[in-house]
Chain A
Amino acid sequence: MSAPVVEARGLGKVFGTGEAETEALRGIDLEIAEGDFVSLIGPSGCGKSTLLRLIGDLVSPTTGTLVVNGKEPRQSRLDRDYGIVFQSATLLDWRSVQKNVELPLEIMDFPDAERPTRAREMLDLVQLAGFADHHPWQLSGGMQQRVAIARALAFRPALLLMDEPFGALDEMTREAMQQEVLRVWGETGTSVVFVTHSIPEAVFLSTRVVVMSPRPGRISDEIMVDLPPKRDLDTREDPRYFELVIEVREALRRGESGSSGS
């Protein structure tokens, strides 16, 4: 067993000072192993996105320790250890699909000759090879998000951070994208941290579901998903899948009632 990709101990984050002070996260202990697919789930305000941003060094923790890929989060970001996908695809309108995927490669000084090849490989991976010369506005929301995933994986990061990536998509597209992400995960072996507020999504995708509760945000439960690794339409009808969905739902309810009492 190799060293964990993410290791958090007593992690806390406070935004603002004085009157405007908000405690976003308190006492987070979390370990994510290489190859894991971990979902962070919880109601809005539970700090799941903040936790993701801490891992990505997009915000800094107030208390506790955090190690990403065996380093300080900042060093890990500087070493370009992770790729990130947001809820909005954040593609650059003035670049073609291919050039969007090449953006991180340009910034990371990949050789000129290698960039187009890699970008095309990635577009193959997300099954958008035929759209390389299109521009973002010519694509549907789901396709744009697939480009964002291709872009995040183009430099082969060890870790993929996803912040409610399918939150803005319709149910049908969403399920197709989930299948897509699982396939990509299977083919690349990247560890994934996936923020979501959809219980079925978390159960279907993950090896482990981390349940969070709000005010202040903390981890209230962790549920191992012991479904077979190969997941497809049948998985969604597997009795064990339904049991796990109920388990996560109950964990969320416990978390909610626990926090309103304190």
Chain B
Amino acid sequence: MGGANRRVARAGISILAVIVVFVLLWEGYKLIWTAMGWENPVRPDDRTMPHTWDIFLALFQPAQRNGPPFILVELRAALMTLREAFVGFLIGGAVGFGLGVLFVRSTISERAFMPYVVASQTVPIIAIAPMVVVWGGRANLPQWLSVSLIAAYLTFFPVAINTLRGLRSPHPTSMELMRSYASTPSEVLWKLQVPAAMPYIFTALKVSAAASVIGAIVGELPAGLRGGLGRDLLQFSQQFTAAPEKLFAAVLIAGLAGIAFVGLITALEHRWIGANRRLAA
């Protein structure tokens, strides 16, 4: 597994390099803009752009007087949000895969439903989320599940589209080959189309993993769910003028949560799909 270790090490180095460059740009901007007295596009003062080290230090200060450090509180919040996102990801992924299979089996159903599937994504999530919360409440669903459903709403679309594309990817002669074996539609699906679709599906799952985290964060707001990242982000943005570094620190954690989820899916992809079959992205 030397190759895997080297890959992880190389990824670590490049991530570190990006952080260093980002910190340099941020602090450089502050320095130059302050010296020149520029105020556009962003004022360089410590209220608007706190020092990177202040943001970093904010992670380790207590979130409340005598409470546990900020980073622990927010990591716990991130874990909760990730759990909602993950359940939504599973639901959305299953629905998306199911739609892809339905559409490849029946052109009529594709023609009938595809426009609505596409249209569903033009409805903003902030319009859908309160409805889901209200309906979920009526149906006595636990609040976190309503949040998961909102995450699922963002997840299913890329999976459906890419599953369909992947299921259609086998060459026509491969389909003829399966036909020559007198194979049943489900044999064609499971032995040819689904394996052929896996690289496409994984690409979608990576997009969906990130989207599900966003869906969960947004969904927590109308649900009024406490303890997740959504509520905290909202709270820190309201306290922005007083303690801007807290918002930036929380954004950092939210970003890390998304990256961790996408990273997990990428690891699964590398485990299951040979390098020569992986799609870029």
Indicate if B182 sits at the interface (CB-CB under 8 A).
yes
| B173 lies within 8 A of A88 (CB) | yes
**Given A93-B276, A94-B195, also A86-B176 (CB < 8 A):** yes
Q: Does A38 contact B (CB under 8 A)?
A: no
How many A-B pairs fall under 8 Å by CB? 54
15 further contact pairs, Cβ within 8 A, besides A58-B176, A107-B182: A77-B182, A78-B182, A84-B177, A86-B176, A86-B177, A88-B171, A90-B174, A92-B174, A92-B196, A93-B277, A94-B195, A94-B273, A103-B191, A135-B274, A137-B276
Per-position 1/0 for B159-181, Cβ under 8 A of A: 00000000000010110111111
Asked if B102 is an interface residue, CB under 8 A from chain A, the answer is: no
B192 to A92, Cβ gap below 8 A?
A: yes
- Residues from chain B with a CB closer than 8 A to the CB of A82 are 180
Interface residues in A61-114 by Cβ distance below 8 A to B read 77-80, 82-84, 86, 88, 90, 92-94, 103-104, 106-108
Q: Which 3 A-B pairs rank lowest in CB-CB distance, beginning with the nearest?
A: A86-B173, A78-B182, A107-B183
Within 8 A of A (CB), among B236-281: 273-274, 276-277
Contacts of A53 in B (CB 8 A): 176
Question: Which B-chain residue is minimally distant from A151 (CB atoms)?
Answer: B177
Q: How far is the CA of A93 from the CA of B182 in the complex (A)?
A: 21
What chain A residues lie within 8 Å of B177 (beta carbons)?
84, 86, 90
Query: Which B residue sits closest to A89, measured CB to CB?
Result: B173
Determine the chain A residues whose CB is within 8 A of the CB of B46 once the complex forms.
none
B187 adjacent to chain A (CB < 8 Å): yes
Could you give 17 example pairs across A and B, Cβ below 8 Å? A58-B176, A77-B182, A80-B181, A86-B173, A86-B177, A92-B174, A93-B276, A93-B277, A94-B196, A94-B198, A94-B277, A104-B181, A107-B178, A107-B187, A107-B191, A108-B181, A137-B276
Q: Is residue A56 contacting chain B, with contact meaning CB distance below 8 A?
A: yes
Tell me the minimal C-beta distance from B17 to chain A in angstroms.
33
Kindly state the separation between the CA atoms of A262 and B35 in the bound complex, as whole angstroms. Answer: 89
The answer to whether B192 touches A58, judged by C-beta atoms less than 8 angstroms apart, is no
Residue of B nearest to A83 (CB): B180
Interface size class of B (residues with CB under 8 A): 20 to 34
Complex Cα distance, B195 from A76, in Å, reads 28
Interface range on chain A: under 10, 10 to 19, 20 to 34, or 35 or more? 20 to 34
CA distance A98 to B163 in the complex (A): 27
Q: Which B positions have Cβ atoms within 8 angstroms of A?
A: 171, 173-174, 176-183, 187, 191-192, 195-196, 198, 273-274, 276-277
Residue of B182, B183, B274 contacting most chain A CB atoms (<10 Å): B182
Q: Which of B177, B191, B195 has the most CB of A within 10 A?
A: B177
CA distance A258 to B276 in the complex (A): 50
B274 engages A94 (CB within 8 Å): yes
What A residues does B176 contact at CB under 8 A? Answer: 53, 56, 58, 84, 86
Of all chain B residues, which has the CB nearest A87? B173
Nearest CB to that of A82 among chain B residues?
Answer: B180
Which of chain A's residues has its CB closest to B171's CB?
A90
A137 to B277 CA separation, bound complex (whole angstroms): 10
Query: B-facing mask of A112-146, CB < 8 A → 1, else 0?
Result: 00000000000000000000000101000000000
Please name all residues of chain A whose beta carbon is closer than 8 Å to the beta carbon of B179 when the two chains form the complex. 58, 77
Q: Which residues of A contact B273 (CB under 8 A)?
A: 94
Contacts of B173 in A (CB 8 A): 86, 88, 90
Tell which of B181, B274, B276 has the most Cβ of chain A within 10 Å: B181
**Taking the nearest CB of chain A, how far is it from the CB of B161, in angstroms?**
22
Minimal beta-carbon separation of A9 from chain B (angstroms): 23
- A80 and B277 form a contact (CB under 8 A): no
Alpha-carbon gap, A32 to B90, bound state (A): 56
Q: With the chains together, A108 CA to B171 CA distance in Å?
A: 22
In the complex, residue of chain B having the shortest beta-carbon distance to the beta carbon of A157: B180
A78–B181 CA distance with the chains assembled, in angstroms: 7
Report how far A108 CA is from B187 CA in the complex, Å.
Answer: 10
Chain A residue contacts of B183, Cβ below 8 A: 107
Q: Does the CB pair A106–B191 fall under 8 Å?
A: yes
Q: Which residues of A contact B182 (CB under 8 A)?
A: 77-80, 107
Q: Are B277 and A56 in contact, CB atoms less than 8 angstroms apart?
A: no
Give the docked Cα–Cα distance between A90 and B274 (Å): 18
Q: Shortest distance in angstroms between A80's beta carbon and chain B's nearest beta carbon?
A: 6
Chain A residue nearest to B174 (CB atoms) is: A90
